[in-house]
Each structure stands twice: as C-alpha cells, then as structure tokens.
Amino acid sequence: MTETVLTYADWSEALREGELLGQKCADCGNVTGVPKAACPECGSRELSTTNLPEKGTVYTETTVAVAPEGFEGGYKVGIVQVGEARVLGRLDSEADIGDEVVFADVFEHDGEPAPVFEIRQ
Amino acid sequence: MARATVVGVDMTKFGVHDSKLPELFADAAFPALDDAGVTQDELDAFYFGNAMSGLAENETHLAPKVATHMGMTDVPFQRFEDACATSANAFKNAVQAVDAGIHDTVLVGGVERCTPKTGMDTPEMTRVFASASHRQYEQPSGLTFPGVFALLTKRHMHEYGTTEEQLAEVAVKNHYHGSLNPRAHFGKETTVEDVLDGPIVADPFRLMDCCPFSDGASAVVVTNDELGDSFDGEGVDVTGVGHGVDAVPLSDKASLPETRAARDGAKEAYEDAGVTPSDIDFAEVHDCFTGAEVMATEALGLIEDGEGGPAAEEGRTRLGGEIPVNPSGGLKAKGHPIGATGTAQITELTEQLRGDARERQVEDARAGVAHNLGGDSGTTVVTVMEERA
C-alpha cells in the first residue's frame, strides 16, 4: 500500500481542526473510529482514511463521579455511533442512550485531545 | 484425561496488609506448597502474576525477587500481566505446559497491593487502574474503570431492562457469601437499601456496586494428570481452559453487553472439558462491579441472556439456589488484589470440589467454572474444574 496509514498525530490534529477521522478497510469494508496499522476485523493493511459523520447517536454513557488524579469528577463519558464506526469521548451532561449528538468541540487533558459531543439542536 | 490436576491451594485473607509484596506472596505460596506436600526443589517452574506493581510500587522484574525471598532461585520463573486476568492467564499457561509435558509440577500464583499501604490514595489508584484503558483514545477523556463497566452495564440496562435494584441484589448476595468466608475483605452483610443509598462512583454504580481496593496473594500447585494422586493434597482436575479476546478500545467491540471474549472463552473451555453449562454446579465470576457479574452469568450460559439481573433478584445465583455464583463472596466481597484474583478463583473451585468450603459449601459440587477477565473484558480466561476422575 502506498498511501500513508493514519497515525495518532494525524488523527489528533484533525480532531482539533474539527474533523473526525476514521479508517475504512479496502478488503472487508469495516470502518473503525480510531487509527490502526491493520483492520481489527480482518487484518488487512489496506486501510484508507475516511471522514466520519459529525452527527451520531449515543450508544452508551456514564457520568464519572470519582475521577482519576488530574481530573475533576462530574463529567459524562460516552460512546457515540457515528456512521458505521463508534468513537469514545466526552458527552453533553444531558445526553442519554439513543440521543442524537453532534461532534462540537475537543476536550484537552495534558495536551491530549478527546472529542466532545453535544446534543443536536 | 484431565489437562492438569491442582494438588495444592491457598490464599491470604484479602484486605489490608502491611507486609511487602514478596512477604505477602510467601504467605499464600508456602501454605499452598504445604497443602500439596511439595518442596521448592520439586517444582519445575514458577508462573507468577502481578499487574500493577510497576506503576504502584516502582517494582518491576518482580518474579526473581519473590523467588529469591522463597528460596527457589533454581526454579525458572516468569511474570504475567493481563490486567485483572493476570493470574488466570499464568494458570492457563501452566496447565498447557503441564498438559504438553514441558513441566511436571508448577507453582502458579499472584500478589498485589492496592490499598493505601502502597502510598497511593483513591485518585492516584484510580489513575493507575485506568492505565488498562486505551492510552490515546480513552484515557484523555477521563474514563475510569468503574466508568468502563458502567458503559457496558448501562447498555445492558438499555437493551434488557436490568435495574439498579437488581444490580444491588448482586452486591447483597455476594456480601452474604463473603460473610461465610473468613478470608473475605468484607465479612458483613448489606441490604438493597444500603447499596442504593451509597454515593455514586460512575452511574449506575454506587460505592457498594464496586469491588474494593485490596491487598492479597493466592497460589496453587499444578501437576499432570498422571502424578495427580501422588501428592498430599487431594487432587482436583482441570478439564477445560478457554482464552477469549476482544478489541481494545471499547469503541471497537461489536457489542458491549455480550462480552464476546467471555462467550468465546466459555465455548472453548466447555468444549475442551466436554461439558455444557447445565453440567456446571457453581461458578466464580469476575464481579469487579455488580453489572459485570450479570453479564458474566449470561456469557457463561448459566443464565439466559437478559435474565442476569432478575436471576440475582430471584435468588437463582445464591448459595442454595439453582446455580450458586461467587460462593467465595466474589471480587465484590472477598476483595480484588488484581494479580491475585485469578488463582484465588482456582483456590475456591478446588476447595469447593474437595468439599472443604465449610459454611459456604455448594451442595453436591462436582463441576465448577471460573471466569476471570482483564481490562475492559478484552481478555477473558475461563477454566472448568471437576472432581478427580
């Protein structure tokens, strides 16, 4: 494969620019929400970078009250179905399973980003 | 023919210990060797489990330190780390090595210190535990381990209608079982009301839905089927082992409530043993959180999918019920010193199948299953043990 495989650096830079990048497998068609060197379903290295939809549906969520060192408790973390992939990130405190949300912002912790999803207006 | 035979077991009480890691491990391992009636020079290998000491105590390459402390520097040793499935995976490797004829007799066990005796408080230890979630794609969000299992459990609640009261019933049952186990971290019973009154850790989990931070050690002696009757300790057969795996991070798992690794591991272990779930008399499952037990009982085929919550509520999984789950008290009440948990489950299976479990003895126990998962359930080791043929 000649195309450069999506890296963490590419993914996080794009996230900060408001783009959710994923990968699509040329062999089995599987779409994954975060970069890998090979398809987690079939092992193929024929992966192309793809733009994931900004709008999605909450698959599951929880409000973390007891937080790790370096975080303040009381935030919501969840997994969002965006198109064919799922992505984990911070969620609007009102977002429940099944709610429509949109990728709206980036949460930064120690220079490392996580996507933030808000309820679709 | 059995894959292997367990001929000696023991564990420390789980709870708070002042003793250092090698000392704590020896407190479980020497009694296990004595139970089997073997000395260190009769061992062919030492498979040792510890998950967190590099992060929590600045301790790596721990196996030689433990072996030296125990006077077994002639026994080849190796350390295993698979998060909470650490010593179950050490055990699986020992069973396979014995079954393949590579070793005759192996000491397997694990040790961990997770209470503030390590010098770490709750926020620091919460960070250390979160190291098992994906470094780039999960940790920056502030996801915790109670949070990981909350994500699985809330989806289960959404798909099947499992309730917080049913989750609380798992804690109540396991605290009751723990009250019958002198080595349990928590020896007191609790009530659904008390569980539901507790502070939230990560919703739907309240404090009493979560296993404690514990210190402790466990150890077992494994030998081959042929030698299984030649030790002091009554042998119990390992008839099936399965090792299921799944993707990490969570967002790459096809379904969260199904815990696919547990289903694959169980299928492999049952086929290996030539049994079906209906042949199983009791189970020790990885109830790091109440919701994890609900999903484990379903994944192991002991309870119908979606019925794990009602089963706990109806007493089906209680001692005296149709399929007792976690007669030891489980991680919830017995405690969860990470690297010691897998072989502590093997210790409980062995004692139950020997008929030595006293007040918490499962009636007519002939076959038991252990389910030990690591991380977000991406590693799950399932072991079937039966009365010696």
**Which member of A75, A86, A109 has the closest CB to residue B140?**
A109
Is B211 an annotated catalytic residue?
no
For chain A, say whether B15 makes contact (Cβ under 8 Å). no
Is B288 an annotated catalytic residue?
no
- Distance from C-alpha of A5 to C-alpha of A1, rounded to nearest angstrom: 9
Q: Which two tokens stand for residue B372?
A: 């030990």
DSSP A21-36: EEEEETTT--EESS--
The chain A residue lying nearest B120, using CA atoms, is A69
CB B364 within 8 A of CB B242: no
Q: Are strands B236-245 and B215-223 parallel, antiparallel or unpaired?
A: unpaired
pLDDT at A1: 43
- Distance from C-alpha of B76 to C-alpha of B109, rounded to nearest angstrom: 14
**Which member of A63, A85, A88 has the closest CB to residue B203?**
A63
Please work out, in degrees rounded to the nearest 5, the angle formed at the alpha carbon of residue B150 by the alpha carbons of B149 and B151: 90
pLDDT at B1: 82
* Residue A73 CA: distances (Å) to CA of A66, A103, B203: 5, 22, 12
For chain B, say whether A32 makes contact (Cβ under 8 Å). yes
Contact B155 A59 (CB under 8 A): yes
ipTM associated with this complex = 0.97
A-to-B residue pairs, Cβ atoms closer than 8 angstroms: 110
Q: How far does A6 lie from chain B, in Å, by closest CA? A: 14
For chain B, say whether A69 makes contact (Cβ under 8 Å). yes
pLDDT in tens, chain B (389 residues): 899 999 999 999 999 999 999 999 999 999 999 999 999 999 999 999 999 999 999 999 999 999 999 999 999 999 999 999 999 999 999 999 999 999 999 999 999 999 998 889 999 999 999 999 999 999 999 999 999 999 999 999 999 999 999 999 999 999 999 999 999 999 999 999 999 999 999 999 999 999 999 999 999 999 999 999 999 999 999 999 999 999 999 999 999 999 999 999 999 999 999 999 999 999 999 999 999 999 999 999 999 999 999 999 999 999 999 999 999 999 999 999 999 999 999 999 999 999 999 999 999 999 999 999 999 999 999 999 999 98
For range A64-68, the mean pLDDT: 97
DSSP for residue A47:
E
Q: Which of B103, B243, B336, B371 is catalytic?
A: B336
Of B162, B252, B383, the closest CA to residue A41 belongs to B252
Would the pLDDT of A2 be above 60?
no
Element (H, E) at B72: none
Which residues are paired to B58 by β-bridges?
none
For chain A, say whether B154 makes contact (Cβ under 8 Å). yes
The chain B residue lying nearest A7, using CA atoms, is B136
B147 vs A contacts (CB less than 8 Å)? 62, 64, 77
For chain A, say whether B119 makes contact (Cβ under 8 Å). no
- Distance from C-alpha of B190 to C-alpha of A81, rounded to nearest angstrom: 38
Q: How far does B292 lie from chain A, in Å, by closest CA? A: 15
- Distance from C-alpha of A81 to C-alpha of B378, rounded to nearest angstrom: 20
- H helices of chain B, where? 21-36, 53-56, 62-69, 86-99, 122-129, 145-160, 164-179, 192-197, 260-273, 290-299, 308-313, 330-334, 341-354
For chain B, say whether A108 makes contact (Cβ under 8 Å). yes
Contact B251 A85 (CB under 8 A): yes
- Distance from C-alpha of B88 to C-alpha of B370, rounded to nearest angstrom: 9
What pTM value is reported for the model? Answer: 0.97
Q: Which of B84, B114, B211, B288 is catalytic?
A: B84
